[in-house]
Structure 1
Amino acid sequence: MDTQLSAFQVYQQQNKKKRVVSPLSFEVQNERKKTRKNPRIENSTKISSVSMLKKKVKVVKKEKHTKLKEGPKDIKKFNKTAKTDNITNGINLNSVESQFEEKVPKKIKNVKKEKEIQKKKKIKKLKSSHNNITNENNVSEDEEEIPILVPIKEQPLEEKKKKLTPYDSSSEESDSHTGSFLPLNIIQESFNPVTQGLALFKWLINPITPKEFFEKYWEKDVLHVERSNRHYLRDIFSTEKLDSILRKFPLHYTRNIDVVAYQNGQKEVINEEGRALPAQLWDYYNNGCSVRVLNPHTYDQNIHSIIASLQEYFGTMVGANVYLTPPDSQGFAPHFDDIEAFVIQLEGSKYWKLYKPKESDVLARDSSLNFNAKDLDAPFKEVKLNAGDILYFPRGVIHEGRTIEEHSLHITISVYQHTAYADLLEFALPAALKKAAMENVEFRKGLPLNYLKHVGVVNKNDKSNKRKLIMEKIKCLMTDLLKYVDVDEAADQLGRKFMHDAMPPLYSQEEALHSCKYDGDFMKNGRVFNRVEITPEVRVRLLRYYALRIVQETSTNVKIYFCTDNAKSYHGEEEQWLEIDEKLIPAMQMLLKKYPDFLVVDSLPVEDETEKLSLISSLWEHGLLVTAEPLPNFESDAESDE
């Protein structure tokens, strides 16, 4: 006859980790789970349930203690014998008892003392540094050799003078504009914006070095970084995070989410109208559809941090898309892109086929339409990408991916879109032609009479002397045009475009404290606090080298385009710029040259001190500068009036 298993026995059989769990703790956990699962339970009900549960625990513990005190009959008998005979089996029980009574209080005292010491150390560590790193996974270096990505958590903002700040240290909400995202083994004690991006890139392509990567693979060949550790990249993003984002934020179809399917050689986009609801989206997923998140960095700080760091490293716009594919499915037809792609496999696995492009599509400037797999040659490389792996391929390489036995979650980091010499010349040549036409009369001379009879598609084979003269003249003008090409001016225009495209940079903890983010005026209860002023003795540096671009649009009109106020969504804000006087350019050049070192404001090459302080104040107010120390504060007007 089969015996019916209890709930606890079923739990023990289902639990893969063989650990001892008492029926009492299981009952408590089960009760708590029931309470958590029903969001409609009022707080009062929850409190009463918990208090009842605590009473129950106390009663059970008391019963256990009573039974232990009474003890079984054989133990009673042993104790009785021990009292009559002071020595049993060669053991002096009186001596043992006296030693036990002496050691226990000492041990308890030592434990309490150790706890107090640890508590003081923790408080001291928290106060001494704003760059503390919290390891949420509680993994020590001895336990785990593989680096784990951990976001730097925000710490309460404390300053030597204990002046008021607008930041509430009791808040548990994370700031979307501060923090960092680096492996534990490469986080630096002192934040360095120059080396942070390099350290992150090294970690991503490890064990390949950046030097080897750029010599052998960059714009040349495919690279598969294969790892045996499936958890190497686990903290970047996950399906759980995606589900949480969908419930917390209003992501919309087409703008933020694409639902796609690839069947019978055809890609189909199945987007609804309005917000992408989790239940609806997961229903599509269960029916074999893939999900693409177009701008995940808008809602996830880890991805934003990675993009911001790599953006400073590459010096161009960096983007990201997340792709979720169910088992035995394919979301996209074979195609090529106009970006350098780093495919980072986060969960599951995916099989990739890579095809060589035509000569005209090598390092393509624009993405392709979908290809029919039947029309393609055999792939030159096939790769199975497991969680923890990375796949790099240059723009123009035709690719397609498919899942088989398990789902796949990957993020594609894209760099170098429209950053070719051709893109630079698109700015340089029109400007050069405009300048040449203004300064050289040869460019303004008229074409020969009846020139249309000798040039054009229908006259390609014309052997007349007039055609030869026209073609020779064009060659001479093209040679002269090179004299008017201003590469620097074109680069500034490309840089201006970069400023509009770029993601806003992230502040480190120290940078947030030493910038307009958390330093400077703030309002509380109708009063203005922390009035600050920049003086000539203050030391400053730029927030990021690629946070601004100086463009001299005319002989007197100079603008500083910047990205610190950009939205996280692509072109979510208009271009941001400041206009300055031409004589302030040397000061800006000095700030760029000294970056990332600090310099004294008074050392800037500007004669008029008022103009110098006005420039620095304006840069600081727009988040483009950080100070070496928090600025000194003055009494507010409100306080002085009182």
Structure 2
Amino acid sequence: MGKRKNQSPGHKGDNKKKRILISSEENTPVKATIPKIKKESSWLDIDDEDIIDVKREVDMELSEDEYLDDDSFCKRSSESDSEDGDEEPEDGVSLDGLEAEDEDDLMKDPVIITDTTYQEDNDDEDEGESGDERSHGPNKCCSNSKADSTLTDIKALEQKLFKDNGFFECQCPLSEPPVNWVKMPFSQKLDSVTEGQNAFEWMIKGMSVSDFLTQMYGKKCVHIKRSNQYYYESFFSTDSFMKMLDNNTCEFGKNINFSTYVDGVCKTPNGKGRVTSSDAKKALKSKMSIQCINPQSFNQNIWYLCDILQEYFQCFVGANNHIAPSGSSGFSSHRDEIDGFILQLGGRTFWKVWAPSDADSMFPIYPSENFNESQMKSRKPVFSGWLNEGDLLYLPRGYIYQAKPDDTHQSHHVTITVARQHTYIDMYRKIVPTVIETMASNFPLFRQNIPVNFMSQFGVADVNESDENAIKKNVANLITTASTTFGILCKDYIDSAFDQMGKDYMIQALPPKLTKSEKKHSVFNEKEAGIAPFVLTLKSEIRLIRRHTQRLLFDPHGGSYIIHRMNNPRTFDSLLEQTICVPNDFCSLYEEIARVYPEYVTAEKVLSIAQVSKQSGLAFIQNLYNHGLILIIEKF
């Protein structure tokens, strides 16, 4: 399906984007207009040097010139082709520095790796190869020097990322008063993304946000030492934790864990049912540590910080807090599948942090089991020191860590967690099933039967009975064509894949913690008063409540809807979609409202720009207001 044209006359000069959609339902057939592959000869006769010419159809709503400008790797010029299929550099052109430029280019625009055409093995080399030296990896017919070179480039980039790992420490001499959380200090009626950035700037005070994101995020462990031990004092104290237990139903195993760590063994001697402050105090006296895995579900300050950071990171932001009695053994070394910001609220803790041991250990998708002391004995930590009250420690995903409280003081910290299941791999998992289904639906070429007697010619085990190079070559060429098609389609589905990531976020995210002003100017004012929603007029000045509290999405069947997080639970009990149907004619109306955010605009003006009828358009805006997505500057 081609992307819907932007009908808003106020944006006629905008580049039109193709709207190609991914189904979130399993086994849902996908019908889409896709690139056609123009073959110069039958695939059975393709030569090694032949290449694929890709052409875009008109109903993709993107011209061939525009597409080729964006996807120049698909463009073929017969005038520039040499007999060898490669163009030699001109005499006098220096090749110095090209390797470094290639590495930088690859970092900026990582390409999809595709198999290349088959090249016959050198018989002389095969004769000298012993059985022990034979490769038991992918079949040789699907590899050549170009593919090997691409993989080498990827590994070089990974090594470059690996070299960026390490530790950074900075001193924050500022002495600022504790934040008054009752006033929700970062909510200043600005763009919600800006407010989230301001909250993040407060959290990592001592380092600029831009420096952190470009030099540290996902790369280095960071210790911010503060001279102000009271910096986080008002955020969440141990007394606040005890009150949280008494005022809410927090259960063993579900919300609270008691733990001990003795002689390298971690145990969780949990009770059953609800946890009270009396239970927690007894556990601390018995030298047990206490962990709450979701304090944002019960504490207003933690909920507020996590919610406002969600607008900036645009992923679920969670938290956990850990209280360890003095003289206890802390917890065993392990690594997480998230990035963690550890705010030391009280006491102090001695931390050991180890960077990934090699490139393959970077950016794990799943958490690890606990490591024992013998496993860590030979490894040198990148950080070994005290995290004092008011300090922050940033742990990138994949860093192993261990902590032990002071012998004389109880320790309490909160960890703010980001980027769980928020990787490129997670995004590609959204693309692959739909791309495969699209190839199956639209390319009969890839629905052909595989060769008869294939098990005699292919397989990892070296028991092949025949060596029919012609068939292997044909199969390799078909795989090359399929790989190229797959790569093209993946690029076409990128926008929709990110939409699916946004959809997952809307389902998982915390609901917004509204300010008094947001409640007053939204439908929540009427809900709290138990009266009917305010009725909008054409003169009503409106804006979205937040930039990323909702998202307009399109399904593969031509429908459109808004998914939002206004009514999401703060607990993990029920994660359901909250949606509002959007008639196709009103998509441009919503887009115009989103485009002017955070400014207010009259309903009459936005209806005029979107060229929507006043009566039906105003009814649509009223529906958005009734669901809590719209603020009105003044109710009159």
TM-score by length of 1: 0.67
Amino acid at match of 1:267: C
Alignment check: 8 A CA contact 2:589 2:612 kept = no
1:436 paired residue number: 439
State the Cα deviation string for residues 569-606 of structure 1 (Å, max 9, x = none).
Answer: 13534211111211211112112221111122122314
Q: Is the 8 A contact 1:259 1:271 kept in 2?
A: yes
Q: Is 1:231 aligned to residue 230 of structure 2?
A: yes
Secondary structure at the residue paired with 2:571?
coil
8 Å contact from structure 1 (residues 181, 305) kept in 2: no
Deviates more, 1:340-349 or 1:574-583: 574-583
Counterpart position of 2:305: 306
State which of 620, 623, 632 in structure 1 corresponds to 2:628. 623
Unpaired runs of at least 5, structure 2: 1-173
Measured after TM superposition, the shift of residue 196 of structure 1 is 1.7
Deviation by residue 1:228-286 (Cα, 9 ceiling, x = unmatched): 21101101101101111111212100111011111111111222111113222322221
Residue in structure 2 matched with residue 361 of structure 1 by the alignment: 361
SS at match of 1:222: strand
1:304-359 deviations in Å (ceiling 9; x for gaps):
11001111111111110011111122343211111111000000000110112232
Residue 484 in structure 1 maps to residue 482 in structure 2? no
Show the 5 A alignment for 1:564-603.
564-570=566-572, 572-602=574-604, 603=606
Contact 2:190 2:598 in 1 (8 A): no
Structure 1 residues 452 and 548: alpha-carbon distance in aligned structure 2, compared to 1, 3 A threshold: farther
Q: 1:403 to 1:586 in 2, by over 3 A?
A: same
Based on CA coordinates, which of the two structures has the bigger radius of gyration? Answer: 1
Tell me how far 1:398 sits from its aligned partner: 0.6
Distance 1:338 1:483 in 2: 30
Q: Secondary structure at the match of 1:341?
A: strand
Which segment drifts farther, 276-285 or 302-311? 276-285
Q: Which whole-Å deviations, capped at 9, do the CAs of 1:177-208 have from their partners, x for residues lacking one?
A: xxx244xxxx74x5553322121111111121
Cα contact 1:348–1:409 (8 A) shared by 2:
yes
Matches within 5 A, 1:254-269: 254-269=253-268
Q: Give the secondary structure class of the aligned counterpart of 2:369.
A: coil
Which whole-Å CA distance do the structure 1 matches of 2:467 and 2:424 have between them? 35
Alignment-mate amino acid for residue 399 of structure 1: Y
Name 1:78's counterpart in structure 2: none
Percentage of pairs with the same residue: 27
**Residue 149 of structure 1 corresponds to which residue in structure 2?**
179
**Against the structure 1 CA distance between its residues 557 and 228, is the aligned structure 2 distance closer, same or farther, given a 3 Å change threshold?**
same
Cα distance change on mapping 1:330 and 1:359 into 2, 3 Å: farther
- Letter paired with 1:196: E
Does the Cα contact within 8 Å between 2:564 and 2:578 map onto a contact in 1? yes
Which stretch shifts more, 500-509 or 599-608?
599-608
> What is the CA–CA distance in structure 2 between the aligned matches of 1:521 and 1:400, rounded to whole Å?
46
Q: Which residue of 2 aligns with 1:20?
A: none
Contact 1:540/1:628 (CA < 8 Å) preserved in 2?
yes
User: Which residues of 2 match residues 110-189 of structure 1 at below 5 A?
Assistant: 146-153=176-183, 180-182=184-186, 188=188
Whether the 8 Å CA contact 1:453–1:459 is kept in 2: the answer is no
* C-alpha distance 244-368 of structure 1, shift in aligned 2 (>3 A): same
Q: Please state whether the residue corresponding to 2:476 is helix, strand or coil.
A: helix
In the alignment, the residues of structure 2 paired with residue 253 and residue 558 of structure 1 have an alpha-carbon distance, to the nearest angstrom, of 42
2:516 is the counterpart of 1:513: no
* CA distance, structure 1, for counterparts of residue 391 and residue 534 of structure 2: 49
Alignment partners' CA distance in 2, 1:367 and 1:464: 46
For 2:385 and 2:323, locate their aligned partners in 1 and report how far apart those are by CA, in whole Å.
Answer: 18
Structure 1 match to 2:84: none
Residues 522-601 of structure 1: matches in 2 within 5 Å? 522-523=529-530, 529=531, 532-570=534-572, 572-601=574-603
Q: d(CA) in 1 for partners of 2:291 and 2:463?
A: 49
| Cα distance in structure 2, aligned partners of 1:616 and 1:564 | 16
Structure 1 stretch displaced more, 236-245 or 439-448: 439-448
Residue in 2 that maps onto 1:474: 479
SS in structure 1 opposite 2:525?
coil
Query: Displacement of 1:519 after TM fit?
Result: 3.6
Name 2:508's counterpart in structure 1: 501
2:259 aligned counterpart, secondary structure: strand
Query: Contact 1:606–1:612 at 8 Å: present in 2 too?
Result: no
Task: Give the Cα separation in 1 of the matches to 2:395 and 2:262.
Answer: 25
Aligned-residue offset at 1:383: 2.5
Letter of the 2:626 counterpart = E
Equivalent AA in structure 2 for residue 475 of structure 1: T
Q: Which residue identity lines up with residue 291 of structure 2 in the other structure?
A: R
Residue 192 to residue 427, structure 1, CA distance change in 2 (3 Å): closer
Structure with the greater relative contact order (CA < 8 A, sep ≥ 6): 1 or 2? 2
Paired residues of 2:191 and 2:597 also in contact (CA < 8 A): no
- Residues 444 and 221 of structure 1, relative CA distance in 2, 3 Å threshold: same
Q: Return the letter of the residue paired with 1:351.
A: F
Within the candidate set 444, 448, 452, 1:445 is matched to 448
Instruction: Provide closer, same or farther for how the CA distance between residues 418 and 463 of structure 1 changes in structure 2, counting only shifts above 3 A.
Output: farther
After TM superposition, give the deviation of residue 531 of structure 1 in Å. Answer: 5.8
- Deviation, 1:521, is 8.9
Structure showing the higher helix proportion among its residues = 1
Paired residue total:
452
Displacement of 1:392: 0.5
- Residue identity in the other structure for 1:510: S
Letter in 2 for 1:251: C
Deviations 1:122-161 (A, max 9, x none): xxxxxxxxxxxxxxxxxxxxxx9513111235xxxxxxxx
Q: Is the 8 A contact 2:175 2:228 kept in 1?
A: no
> What does 1:308-457 align with in structure 2 at a 5 Å threshold?
308-357=307-356, 358-376=358-376, 377-405=379-407, 406-457=409-460
